[in-house]
A = this chain, B = another copy of it.
């Protein structure tokens, strides 16, 4: 089984990219996960496509998604929704022959403070993924609050209880990808 993790954050020390690394470290033998970030994807503009086609960084990401058995997206929450850069990447990907179509997908996220834990971002992302025809695992969900207490300054997970929750989530997700209920 081959997975791809996509981080919706550009910040180098992002806890959401760190969340994907933590999941990566929990994978059983024989299952690999590449982590992709969205650096270098320009603002989506149909005039730009008409003038110069699609950027290589977009078609390469589409191809990675197409090759994967399962996709995990880690999303920060900005202003009660997904980061613009994550939505922008999906705007581009929607022009690449439906790479998400019927792909088993999972959504996770971590945010600062006590409220909501990226819930608002995750439901907007799920509606967006519906358009892209992904088959997103309904439950369990991962919405991590107080990431400022659970990750170090480099964005590495340090909280054991969160790691345990991630482990359980990952087991459910691997079943979701493998058994295709």
Asked if residues A120 and B114 are in contact (CB atoms below 8 Å), the reply is no
B46, B82, B127, B180: the one within 8 Å of A123 (CB):
B127
Q: Which residue from B85, B115, B120, B141 sits with its C-beta under 8 Å from A43?
A: B85
How many angstroms between the C-alpha atoms of A56 and B142 in the bound complex? 35
The docked-state distance in angstroms from the alpha carbon of A139 to that of B181 is 18
Q: Which residue of B lies closest to A82 (CB)?
A: B87
In the bound complex, CA of A112 to CA of B48 (Å): 20
A44 within 8 A of B: yes
Which residue of chain B has its CB nearest to the CB of A50? B11
- Whether the pair B133, A43 counts as a contact (CB closer than 8 A) is no
Copies of chain A in the complex: 4
Tell me which of A18-26, A27-35, A89-97 binds B: A89-97
In the complex the two chains form, is A81's CB within 8 Å of B139's CB?
Answer: no
| Contact between B120 and A80, CB atoms less than 8 A apart | no
Select one of B42, B47, B78, B124 contacting A12, CB under 8 A: B47
A181: chain B residues within 8 A (beta carbon)? 102, 135, 180
Q: Are B88 and A81 in contact (CB under 8 A)?
A: no
Given contacts A11-B45, A44-B84, A102-B181, 7 further A-B contacts (CB under 8 A): A10-B48, A44-B85, A79-B128, A79-B132, A84-B84, A116-B116, A126-B130
Chain A residues proximal to chain B, CB less than 8 Å:
10-12, 38, 41-48, 78-91, 94, 102, 114-117, 119-120, 123-124, 126-135, 138-139, 141, 143, 145, 180-181
